[in-house]
Amino acid sequence: MAAYLAVPTRFKNPVLLASSLVFYAWGGPRYVLLICFEALVSWFCALRIAGSKGSMRRIWLIVELACLLGLLGYFKYWTWILTGTHALAGVPADVPQIVLPIGISFYTFQLISYVVDVYRGTIRAQGAYWKLLLYCSLFHQCIAGPIVRYETVAHEIEKRTVSERDIYEGVRRFSCGLAKKVVLANSCAAVADTLLPIGGDALATQVASGCWLGMLFYAFQIYLDFSAYSDMAIGMGRMIGFHYLENFDHPYQCSSVQDFWRRWHISLSSFFRDYVYIPLGGSRCSQAEYVRNMAVVWFLTGMWHGASWNYILWGLYFLAFLLLERFVIRDRLPKPVGHAAALLVVLVGWVLFRFEDFGEMTSVLAGMIGLNGAGLFNLSVHTAFLQNIFLLAVSALACTGFGSWLRRRLSTVAGGGDVAVRVVGALEMLTPPLLLLISLAALAGASYNPFIYFQF
């Protein structure tokens, strides 16, 4: 950040590109060649599409898709596929273990969206290769999202300005995201892992209340974790003049399962909507074709999250409830009932998402309805609840729009006089450094949970 602010304007993008490549290399230097190669293929194909007519434009698009999706399939799914064929037919004898390059799903989808948009004529092809490489490698979001469309940042790559307000808002957003991740998400993960440890025999003997409490903490963990990365990306982008779109909109405040997916991982949902669902025909087709389109989208959504059957099951699980809402329920539920039903569907869905082993998955599902013979309550779950009740309350509050509402209210109060202005101003100034200090303390303590001292 210091180097970026210090250099003249013409050097800011090169500094940002160099920083992004160094950052990406930290997770595996050889995979820098992969992201550079994918950007090169996309840059070349987009230029050929822009300079071609007729069927040649489609051929270059197919070349781009085949190359990028082929690389994604090889790195992310080839080992999984060979593991399956080995289990069924003993072929191959030795399954190669292919290391998954960090962030490949995100920057691959970004480059695909760029080339498809050039093909559709909604954006112009970028003539400078290094600027396209900058777009897909921006260290703010290349490894954990959001999936940023080229049209969102095309103008800002060429020319952007940064005000003191931008830097402050960026630092504040980053600080909130960091605290959300290392203080709340990590603490929730520790509780979830204690109650529902993966890879052990404890799942089969966990009481029903322990299964529900563990999955509740996991639900908080996964939202706070994913949304925290987006907060940090949006904040870091804002510091240097990039305005990324929001990726989460308090999904646990949803009124239905469909509403949940309008609010959850918005950049991924919009990608599948614009580049898969609508090209297949969307909802403007027969009922059978609509079901087919939805099935394709949700099968791919499940696969995108990981190379395991549980993710595909998770995607098809949500497909079933989305179809149920469209064809059977049809907004007939009162809003409070719809909200509660949606949260229940989502919470059970996280069981499918968390456990790749189907034996562990069924153990937890059986335990949640008391069919594992372990009972409903025990002292250890009661103690875990009391020890983490404040963590539970703060995490639940962090999943709502309370923070934004409170900030707006304070801004309104600040108009009431000089004293109010000074108090609110002091709070605004102190919030980022205080959150950073708390986050650093949590990082230094690794598994330290500050909420454990607030217990009954």
pLDDT digits (tens, 9 = 90+) for 153-169: 999 999 999 999 999 99
The residue whose two tokens read 């703060």 is: 394
Residue 161 in tokens: 């300005």
Confidence of residue 27 (pLDDT cuts 50, 70, 90): confident
- Is residue 305 part of the annotated active site? The answer reads yes
Burial class (CB in 10 A: 0-12, 13-18, 19+), 228: buried
| Of the candidate ranges 7-11, 188-192, 412-416, the one whose mean pLDDT is the lowest | 412-416
Of residues 204 and 389, the one with the higher pLDDT is 389
Among 86, 250, 305, 382, the active-site one is 305
Cβ–Cβ under 8 Å, residues 352 and 310? yes
Residue 181 in tokens: 């991740």
- Model confidence pLDDT, tens digit, residues 180-221: 999 999 999 999 999 999 887 889 899 999 999 999 999 999
pLDDT at 450: 59
Residue 357 in tokens: 């082993």
Burial class (CB in 10 A: 0-12, 13-18, 19+), 363: buried
Query: Is the predicted pLDDT of residue 441 greater than 60, yes or no?
Result: yes
pLDDT at 111: 98
DSSP 125: P
* pTM more than 0.85: yes
Cβ–Cβ under 8 Å, residues 253 and 336? no
DSSP 204: G
Residue 125 in tokens: 């092809």
Query: Is the predicted pLDDT of residue 439 greater than 80, yes or no?
Result: yes
447 phi, psi to nearest 5 deg: -90, 15
Query: Is the predicted pLDDT of residue 287 greater than 50, yes or no?
Result: yes
* Distances, alpha carbon 219 to alpha carbons 175, 216, 222, 228, in Å: 22, 5, 5, 14
The one-letter code for the residue type at 101 is: P
pLDDT at 456: 45
Confidence of residue 262 (pLDDT cuts 50, 70, 90): very high
Instruction: For residue 94, count other CB atoms closer than 10 A to its CB.
Output: 7
Query: Is the predicted pLDDT of residue 448 greater than 60, yes or no?
Result: no
pLDDT at 413: 78
pLDDT at 416: 66
Q: Which helix (H) or strand (E) holds 366?
A: helix 358-368
The DSSP string of 292-304 is HHHHHHHHHHHHH
Query: Is the predicted pLDDT of residue 14 greater than 90, yes or no?
Result: yes
